[in-house]
Amino acid sequence: MRMLYRQRTLDLPHGELQTPTLFPVRNLGKRSSDNTPQYIESIPDLPTAMINARAIRNRGPMWDRLTDGVSLREEMDVPEHTIVFADSGGYDFAVETLDTTPRETLETQRQLEADIFGTVDVPLSRDHRSAKNQQRIDRSIDFALAASDLHDGEELLLASVHGYDPETIRNSIQYLEKRGDFDGYALGSLVPIRTDYTKVTKLVLAARTATDKHLHVYGLGGLVYQPLLLYLGVDSFDSSAFIRSAGNRNYLLPGFGGEELWNIEELEYLPCSCPVCGDRTLDEIRADRDALTQHNLWALTTELRRFRYVSTAGKDIETYLDLRFQGNKVTQRAYKIAKQQVRGLA
């Protein structure tokens, strides 16, 4: 049987990175930029961060500092070895007017000294007619090719790809492969359809089978999707779920999903031994949003560690996932379909 899950090492400007990995979203440049507590070094195998290049460039005082000698990592108060993925801010263009170009975005990403660049993209919408979405798909492809022509650095350049059917995803990647020079691809527009696990699974598999290069998935690195993405051979993903869940006082636990802390009354200590939860009581964590945010990030990291262990120890990943998904009928059905498709690749 063909196994899509894989482990690789990326040689990047700021160091080596073991994949598959998560890029936690850092809301730098956004109004909520203060809601991502420090985690790099306290979680040693997560030296990563996802940033929005457009949001940072549009934040006047911050951009002035970054162009006047302050480095991005100094601004973020993170170590120099932090691996940064700078996307174009394409998600903003789902509701806002496109206000950047491939050249300007590359200049911004270089100024920020990011390790991975995502090309300018215009996300799709479930509300748009297919013709309008096709225009957005074509524009994203054109922007990616323009970035390919302009890029000549050591940073990874990932072409952002969109589509609501597997054929469009495959054709887009194959078209870009022939006409551009990319280190990999980043699959977008999945957040609006995230509750359709079966459809998302088919789109991700279409991307994975269209190329052997690095594959990133935008916005779906939460606790529910991580195991599916890992099983389908995704190399990296980003998520702000650990922040949003903490804002709702939602406690993430691998294998169980999330639970609002207000619904838990009789426990003194929560069922997690991460450095955040180990010596804190339920009441202490419930009252400390930063602590809850950090725990949630540990939960996401734990899922990555478990998967790596299962693979490295030579255990059967599908047996692990059969148990992992048995408590949720929706994700269990999506996994069953994914398993049928993966086995059909043999």
* Strands 236-239, 214-217: pairing kind: parallel
157's enclosing H/E stretch is strand 156-161
Q: CA–CA separation, 132 vs 127, rounded Å?
A: 10
Give the predicted TM-score (pTM) of the model: 0.94
Nearest to 231 by CA among 8, 17, 85, 20: 20
Contact 267, 286 (CB under 8 A): no
What was the pLDDT predicted at 33? 47
- Is residue 118 assigned to a domain? yes
- Kindly state the average pLDDT of the residues 150-154: 95
- Is residue 213 assigned to a domain? yes
For residues 81 and 182, state if they share a domain.
Answer: yes
CB atoms within 10 A of CB 84: 27
pLDDT in tens, 43-83: 999 999 999 999 999 988 999 999 999 999 999 999 999 99
For residues 176 and 270, state if they share a domain.
Answer: no
Least confident of 15-19, 161-165, 172-176, 264-268: 264-268
Does residue 97 register a pLDDT over 90?
no
What was the pLDDT predicted at 336? 87
234: its two tokens: 């995704």
CB atoms within 10 A of CB 44: 8
Q: CA–CA separation, 127 vs 160, rounded Å?
A: 21
Contact 105, 53 (CB under 8 A): yes
Q: How many helices (H) and strands (E) does the chain have?
A: 13, 12
* Domain final position from 209, 239, 269: 239
Residue 237 carries which DSSP code?
A: E
For residues 230 and 324, state if they share a domain.
Answer: no
What was the pLDDT predicted at 346? 61
For residues 231 and 298, state if they share a domain.
Answer: no
For residues 235 and 252, state if they share a domain.
Answer: no
Strand order in the sheet with 48-52: 21-24, 236-239, 214-217, 184-187, 156-161, 116-118, 83-87, 48-52
What was the pLDDT predicted at 31? 57
Look at 159 and 92; give whichever has higher pLDDT. Answer: 159
Look at 100 and 1; give whichever has higher pLDDT. Answer: 100
* Domain final position from 239, 262, 288: 239
- Number of structural domains (the chain) is 2
- Find all residues with CB under 8 Å of 211, minimum gap 6, and list them: 173, 177, 184, 185
Supply the DSSP string of 305-343, one letter for each residue: HHHHHHHHTT--HHHHHHHHTTT-HHHHHHHHHHHHHHH
- Kindly state the average pLDDT of the residues 248-261: 84
For residues 171 and 197, state if they share a domain.
Answer: yes
- Find all residues with CB under 8 Å of 195, minimum gap 6, and list them: none
Look at 240 and 114; give whichever has higher pLDDT. Answer: 114
Does residue 28 register a pLDDT over 90?
no
For residues 179 and 273, state if they share a domain.
Answer: no
* Domain final position from 239, 273, 294: 239
- Range(s) of the domain holding residue 48: 8-239
- Is residue 141 assigned to a domain? yes
Q: How confident is the model at residue 332 (pLDDT cuts 50, 70, 90)?
A: confident
Does residue 32 register a pLDDT over 80?
no
Q: CA–CA separation, 281 vs 272, rounded Å?
A: 11
- Is residue 318 assigned to a domain? yes
Reduced to 3 states, what is the DSSP secondary structure of residue 87? Answer: strand
**47 prior amide bond cis, ω within 30:** no
214: its two tokens: 């690095």
Residue 194 carries which DSSP code?
A: T
Residue 44's alpha-carbon distances to 18, 40, 79, 82, 103, in angstroms, are 12, 7, 12, 11, 34
What was the pLDDT predicted at 94? 67
H-assigned helices in 16-163: 53-57, 60-66, 72-76, 102-111, 130-150
For residues 117 and 206, state if they share a domain.
Answer: yes
What was the pLDDT predicted at 330? 77
CATH number of domain containing 234: 3.20.20.105
